[in-house]
């Protein structure tokens, strides 16, 4: 786990050997402790270089070991020994030095980094703080403001930035280990006293209290209810106000308060869930590791509306040439200008040249005949999409893969009109497509493994978090979200206000409640879908009363808002009222209050005071309940997939882990009880009826989320 070599006769080279990221597992900690002892005790050794195998220094403590209390050799003691030693120790940083890995480098006397390396203290993103001296050493090295920024956000920095900040002593384009060896030979003669960071005087700015107060407010605003960033601030404050040893004690106490918290568990679950979702599997046995994706060089994007533009930008910025197609000259010109503007702004932000030469704009579908893939992003209209897919079948060469960007339409119905149904799948981007990280890849029953593998790999190349899902109305994300918004609407009917529902959800951790989110997205989107599916408008069965559809409870309130032209922010009013059309400052609207009161009178609903607990339970337990049905139906293969979709596409608070993890944390038995209670009270809402899988899991003793998969029948898999 740590290799020891004597090089150049007087240097000890210690190499961490724990692939893939050389995490500091207990075995690695033991290995380094032993090798450092050996190097410091060997009179032949004049200096030490620490590096990592496979061009990666170290990805930090082994997160998998956090499931149990920390055991084995202490990193704090090891780092103190390295720093206090009388022989210069040099960290040779290639790849990454993150978390405990960067704390190891901070304990060394010198740090040499490769120019492509990335460094940082991302513990806060795992619900923790850097507890091996990071909160005490980093501020002494680079000052309190810069250290606070890095520790409370967990941002990684490039080697160049690290050099500017003083986090490393030298960067190199050569092999960092080789350079560190040269450096070590020169460092032998130099005194070490000024190189021990823990002994440095803290550079304190004059307005210390104001600085900590400002950062605390910033953190509280950004991450409502999240504990770790606040603990990080307290630890850095200890560094600023206490001697090193007392600061270390405070760091350790704060870490203890975080270590077994539910937030830390949720955030660490998110880390692994994201990686689990990337490892997709299909019932045929095809999976990420055994199917080769196609190499994509040329793509076509059909439709230059909001989605098409974002998709074109996402493709071009990773070096894929794009032919963008529109039907009218004016639309083409507007789209062209928008795409170029977006690409230029993006390139400026990243300090690179915009790859405009990769773009081609055309009115002729014939121009896409030689592309590797087509991503269709026209209006959500099945007959329009079918027409286009028929045309694409005729125009494109037989090897071209065809993808539809749809938020819920039947991917297989589109595949069926083509000459290559096995080469058709869905790619559900989220708006704005060049910003949002999530991509649902929809596997139709006839989609080939290669078609799926190519979409997943292309999504990854575009920097997306990709999740493979099955084909059903709304797929995973939108199918589930419908149950959540329905509950929110029913709660309004029963006595709540939009601001009450939103307040409870925002208190829970959502950046925006359901109604503010709906105002931002535009109420007309859902209205159009409801009209198309016959839930409102002329196609409604005249026998259905306004608050019932197809035998179930239905809330016509969102339709009533749309009929009044209240489409959300863009019209200056929706669930809230705004300062002007396009305004963003939501204010409660007395007209909505009146509308709700009128509605309740008309349908003889006695309004009642609804507790925050009920608001949360009704909205979130029903979401998880539908998640269980999604698993039951084989639309998603594992709970991690659902949670990743909700974290990256729907703003579910990360420190709650996602709807399925949240249900697991609450306790499946309790979720089941409450759903039974609410379903009893509202028997005309089928989504409140507990799912079979939830009942089965409770009957099996509520196994941990990682074990649910074993209880899910795969017979009905749609993947």
- Report the distance separating Cα 551 and Cα 686, nearest Å: 10
* Number of other CB atoms surrounding residue 234 within 10 Å: 17
- Give the catalytic positions in this structure: 103, 123
Query: How much is the CA Rg of the chain, to the nearest whole Å?
Result: 28
User: Which residue's CB is nearer to ligand 3H9, number 463 or number 473?
Assistant: 463
Q: What are phi and psi of 116, to 5 degrees?
A: -95, 5
Q: 429 has which bridge partners?
A: 439
Q: By C-alpha distance, which of 609, 654, 613 is closest to 274?
A: 654
Q: Shortest distance, CB of residue 61 to ligand 3H9, whole angstroms?
A: 3
442 versus 465: smaller Cβ distance to ligand 3H9:
465
**Interface characters, 239-278, with ligand 3H9 (x: CB under 6 A):** ---------------------------------x--x---
Q: Which of 11, 51, 75, 388 binds ligand 3H9 (CB under 6 A)?
A: 75
User: 133: left (phi > 0), else alpha (psi -120 to 50), else beta?
Assistant: left
Q: How far apart are CA 683 and CA 689, in angstroms?
A: 8
* Binding piece for ligand 3H9, criterion CB under 6 A, among 61-69, 143-151, 336-344, 355-363: 61-69
The Cα–Cα gap between 97 and 28 comes to 15
Cβ neighbours of residue 633 under 8 Å, at least 6 residues apart? 470, 472, 716, 718
Nearest to 52 by CA among 5, 82, 10, 94: 94
* Number of other residues whose CB lies within 10 A of the CB of residue 380: 17
Q: How many residues sit close enough to ligand 3H9 to count as binding (CB under 6 A)?
A: 25
Q: Counting beta carbons within 10 angstroms of the beta carbon of residue 242, is it exposed (0 to 12), middle (13 to 18) or buried (19 or more)?
A: middle
Question: Of 99 and 444, which has the nearer Cβ to ligand 3H9?
Answer: 99
CA proximity to 691, closest of 640, 646, 623, 629: 629
Residues 81-120 that bind ligand 3H9 (CB under 6 A): 96, 98-100, 103
User: By C-beta, is 401 or 468 nearer to ligand 3H9?
Assistant: 468
Q: Among 28, 32, 63, 117, indicate the residue that binds ligand 3H9 (CB under 6 A).
A: 63
Terminal-residue alpha carbon distance, the chain: 40
Site for ligand 3H9 in 131-190 (CB under 6 A): 131-132, 134
- Smallest gap from residue 239 Cβ to ligand 3H9 (A): 14
The residue within the footprint of ligand 3H9, chosen from 22, 39, 62, 488 (CB under 6 A), is 62
> Smallest distance, Å, CB 242 to ligand 3H9?
19
Nearest residue (CB) to ligand 3H9, 156 versus 656: 156
Task: Quickly count: other Cβ atoms within 10 Å of residue 677's Cβ.
Answer: 13
- The CB-of-134 to ligand 3H9 minimum distance in angstroms stands at 6
Max CA separation in the chain (angstroms)? 94
Query: Is residue 64 involved in binding ligand 3H9 (CB under 6 A)?
Result: yes
At 544 the three-state DSSP class reads coil
User: In terms of CB distance, is 467 or 697 closer to ligand 3H9?
Assistant: 467
Distances (CA, A) of 478 to 293, 337, 455, 663, 693: 27, 31, 20, 19, 20
Distance of closest approach, residue 72 Cβ to ligand 3H9, in angstroms: 11
CB of 318 to ligand 3H9, least distance (A): 16
Residue from 61, 469, 476, 712 binding ligand 3H9 (CB under 6 A): 61
Q: Which of 407, 476, 467 is nearest to 438 (CA)?
A: 467
Residue span 10-49 as binding mask against ligand 3H9, x where in contact by CB under 6 A, dash where not: ----------xx-x--------------------------
Q: Which is nearer to ligand 3H9, 69 or 206 (CB)?
A: 69
Residue nearest to ligand 3H9 (CB): 99
CA–CA dist 695, 707 (Å, integer): 15
From 57-65, 340-348, 458-466, 523-531, span contacting ligand 3H9 (CB under 6 A): 57-65
Contact 162, 168 (CB under 8 A): yes
Q: How many Cβ atoms are within 10 Å of 241's Cβ, its own excluded?
A: 14
CB of 250 to ligand 3H9, least distance (A): 14
Residues 385/387/388/392 CA torsion (nearest 10 deg): 130
Q: Does 127 bind ligand 3H9 (CB under 6 A)?
A: no
Q: Which is nearer to ligand 3H9, 57 or 484 (CB)?
A: 57
Closer to ligand 3H9 by CB, 128 or 377: give it.
128
Among 126, 323, 409, 492, binds ligand 3H9 (CB under 6 A): 126
In 353-437, beta strands by DSSP E: 359-362, 373-376, 401-404, 424-429
Kindly tell me the burial class for residue 406, based on how many C-beta atoms sit within 10 Å of its own C-beta (0-12, 13-18, 19 or more): buried
Quote the least distance from Cβ 166 to ligand 3H9, whole Å. 20
Identified binder of ligand 3H9 from the candidate list 52, 85, 88, 122, rule CB under 6 A: 122
By beta-carbon proximity to ligand 3H9, the closer residue of 121 and 672 is 121
- Min separation Cβ 52 and ligand 3H9, Å: 11
CA dist., res. 105 & res. 108, Å (int): 5
Residue 107: CB minimum distance to ligand 3H9, A: 12
Shortest reach from residue 650's CB to ligand 3H9, in Å: 23
Choose which of 13, 15, 32, 60 interacts with ligand 3H9 (CB under 6 A): 60
- Segment contacting ligand 3H9 by CB under 6 A, of 4-12, 56-64, 600-608, 694-702: 56-64
Contact segment (CB under 6 A) with ligand 3H9 among 59-67, 468-476, 540-548, 651-659 equals: 59-67
Judged by beta carbon, residue 98 or residue 610, the one nearer ligand 3H9 is 98
d(CA 132, CA 110): 18
Nearest-approach distance from CB 121 to ligand 3H9, in angstroms:
7
CA-CA distances (angstroms) from residue 436 to 15, 167, 308, 343? 39, 32, 14, 15
- State which residue, 75 or 401, has the beta carbon closest to ligand 3H9: 75
Rounded to whole angstroms, how far apart are CA atoms 116 and 385?
44
Single out the residue of 11, 13, 33, 59 in contact with ligand 3H9 (rule: CB under 6 A). Answer: 59
Q: Binding to ligand 3H9 by residue 78, rule CB under 6 A?
A: no
| Residue 383: how many other CB atoms lie within 10 Å | 7
> Which of 83, 94, 123, 524 touches ligand 3H9 by CB under 6 A?
123
d(Cα 49, Cα 65) in Å, to the nearest integer? Answer: 27
Of the candidate spans 1-9, 129-137, 447-455, 672-680, the one that interacts with ligand 3H9 by CB under 6 A turns out to be: 129-137
Q: Which residues bind ligand 3H9 (CB under 6 A)?
A: 20-21, 23, 59-64, 75, 96, 98-100, 103, 122-123, 126, 128, 130-132, 134, 272, 275
């Amino acid at each position: 786990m740590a290799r020891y070599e004597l090089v150049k006769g007087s240097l000890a080279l210690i190499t961490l050997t724990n692939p893939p990221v050389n995490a500091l597992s207990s075995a690695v900690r033991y290995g380094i402790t032993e090798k450092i002892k050996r190097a410091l005790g060997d009179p032949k050794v004049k200096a030490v270089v620490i590096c990592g195998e496979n061009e990666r220094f170290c990805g930090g403590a082994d997160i998998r070991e956090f499931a149990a209390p920390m055991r084995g050799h202490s990193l704090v003691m090891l780092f103190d020994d390295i720093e206090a030693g009388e022989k210069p120790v040099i960290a040779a940083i290639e790849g990454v030095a993150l978390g405990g890995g960067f704390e190891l480098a901070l304990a060394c006397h010198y740090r040499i980094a490769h120019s492509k390396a990335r460094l940082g203290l991302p513990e806060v993103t795992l619900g923790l703080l850097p507890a091996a001296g990071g909160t005490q050493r980093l501020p002494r090295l680079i000052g309190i403001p810069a250290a606070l920024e890095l520790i409370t956000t967990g941002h990684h920095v490039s080697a160049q930035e690290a050099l500017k900040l003083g986090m490393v002593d030298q960067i190199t384009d050569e092999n960092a280990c080789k350079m560190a060896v040269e450096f070590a030979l020169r460092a032998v003669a130099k005194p070490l006293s000024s190189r021990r960071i823990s002994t440095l005087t803290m550079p304190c700015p004059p307005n210390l209290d104001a600085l900590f107060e400002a950062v605390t407010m910033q953190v509280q605003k950004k991450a409502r209810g999240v504990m770790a960033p606040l603990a990080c601030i307290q630890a850095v404050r200890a560094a600023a106000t206490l001697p090193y040893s007392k600061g270390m004690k405070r760091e350790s106490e704060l870490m203890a308060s975080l270590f077994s918290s539910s937030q830390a568990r949720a955030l660490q679950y998110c880390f692994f869930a994201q990686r689990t979702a990337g490892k997709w599997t299909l019932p045929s046995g095809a999976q990420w590791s055994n199917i080769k994706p196609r190499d994509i060089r040329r793509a076509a994007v059909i439709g230059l509306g909001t989605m098409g533009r974002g998709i074109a930008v996402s493709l071009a910025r990773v070096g894929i040439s794009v032919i963008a197609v529109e039907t009218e000259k004016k639309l083409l010109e507007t789209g062209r200008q928008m795409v170029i503007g977006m690409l230029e702004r993006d390139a400026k932000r990243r300090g690179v040249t915009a790859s405009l030469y990769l773009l081609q704009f055309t009115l002729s579908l014939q121009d896409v005949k030689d592309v590797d893939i087509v991503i269709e992003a026209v209006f959500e209209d099945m007959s329009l999409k079918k027409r286009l897919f028929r045309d694409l079948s005729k125009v494109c060469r037989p090897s071209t893969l065809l993808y539809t960007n749809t938020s819920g339409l039947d991917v297989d119905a589109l595949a069926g009109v083509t000459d290559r149904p096995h080469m058709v799948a869905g790619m559900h981007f989220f708006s704005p497509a060049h910003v949002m990280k999530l991509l649902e890849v929809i596997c139709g029953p006839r989609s080939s493994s290669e078609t799926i593998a190519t979409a997943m790999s292309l999504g990854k190349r575009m920097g997306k978090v990709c999740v493979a899902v099955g084909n059903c109305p709304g797929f995973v994300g939108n199918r589930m979200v419908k149950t959540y918004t329905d509950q929110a609407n029913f709660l309004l009917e029963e006595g709540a206000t939009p601001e009450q529902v939103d307040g409870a959800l925002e208190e829970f951790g959502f950046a925006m409640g359901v109604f503010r989110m709906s105002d931002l997205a535009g109420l007309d989107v859902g209205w159009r879908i409801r009209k198309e599916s016959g839930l409102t408008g002329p196609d409604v069965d005249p026998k259905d009363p306004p608050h019932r559809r197809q035998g179930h409870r239905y809330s016509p309130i969102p339709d009533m808002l749309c009929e009044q032209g209240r489409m959300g922010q863009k019209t200056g009013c929706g669930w809230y009222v705004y300062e002007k059309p396009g305004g963003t400052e939501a204010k409660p609207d007395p007209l909505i209050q009146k509308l709700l009161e009128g509605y309740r009178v008309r349908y003889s609903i006695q309004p009642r005071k609804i507790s925050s607990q009920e608001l949360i339970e009704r909205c979130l337990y029903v979401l998880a309940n539908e998640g269980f049905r999604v698993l039951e139906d084989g639309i998603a293969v594992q709970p991690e997939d659902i949670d990743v979709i909700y974290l990256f596409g729907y703003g579910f608070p990360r420190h709650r882990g996602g709807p399925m993890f949240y249900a697991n944390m609450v306790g499946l038995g309790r979720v089941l009880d409450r759903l039974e209670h609410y379903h009893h009270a509202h028997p005309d809402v089928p989504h409140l009826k507990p799912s079979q899988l939830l009942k089965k899991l409770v009957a099996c003793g509520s196994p941990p989320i990682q074990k649910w998969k074993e209880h899910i029948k795969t017979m009905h898999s749609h993947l």
